[in-house]
Amino acid sequence: MNLRPLTVADETAAIRAHEALASEDFPFLFDFRLGDSFLAYVRRVDAFNDGGPFFTEGGVPGIFLVAECEGEIVGRLSVRYELNAYLREYGGHVGYCVLPGFRRRGHGTEMLAAGLDLLWRRGLDRALLTCDDDNVGSIAVIERAGGSYAKTIPGDQEGGADKRHYLFSRDSSPATLRSLKNPIVSPPGQKA
């Protein structure tokens, strides 16, 4: 699996992925509506990855990458380098999704590892992962990767599900993640 920036060549695949995840109420592309210019969107993502202006969940600095396997987009990863009040409760540092046809092949676990790796490389020591209390798949991925359960908080005022909080720390990288090869992340700006 390769993690790389979104490119204009991804238009058809990314929009298909966006539609597929919309039925699960999960945004593949943040703040994107069908009919928006994809070229303009890619430029926005590039600008965000280069340091701003920030547009993904929470409006904080971070990085947005797509996961590719054998030439196909299989998911996406969003890493927040800082937390604001909303992210501290509901979003956490790392968000990822795997397209329905590519699940249960280890991609989710690998993206979690890559997201943590990006945070550690950025100098963070601890990471907060959140997930819906009823998201069986995400709970399994985080717990299997060694996330330490902290608490569950009530859903947001818009009727969201209760959120589980898990913590990872740089010093105690869990065995599952350590055993993964160093995830390949193409540097921002480099178009794979």
What residues have CB less than 8 Å from 33, skipping those under 6 apart? none
- 45 touching ligand COA, by CB under 6 A: no
Q: How many CB atoms lie within 10 A of CB 47?
A: 13
Site string for ligand COA, 138-177 (x = CB under 6 A): x-xx--x---------------------------------
Nearer to ligand COA, 1 or 46 (CB): 1
Match 């990822």 to its residue by tokens.
96
CB of 25 to ligand COA, least distance (A): 9
- 16 touching ligand COA, by CB under 6 A: no
CB of 127 to ligand COA, least distance (A): 13
- 18 touching ligand COA, by CB under 6 A: no
Site string for ligand COA, 90-129 (x = CB under 6 A): -----xxxx----xxxxxxx--------------------
* Backbone torsions φ then ψ of 154, nearest 5 degrees: -65, 150
Burial 88-112 (b: 16+ CB within 10 A, else e): ebbbbbbbbbbbeebeeeebbbbbb
Residue 119's Cβ-count burial label (10 Å; 0-12, 13-18, 19+) is buried
Residues forming contacts to ligand COA in the complex (CB under 6 A) are: 24, 26, 95-98, 103-109, 131, 135-138, 140-141, 144
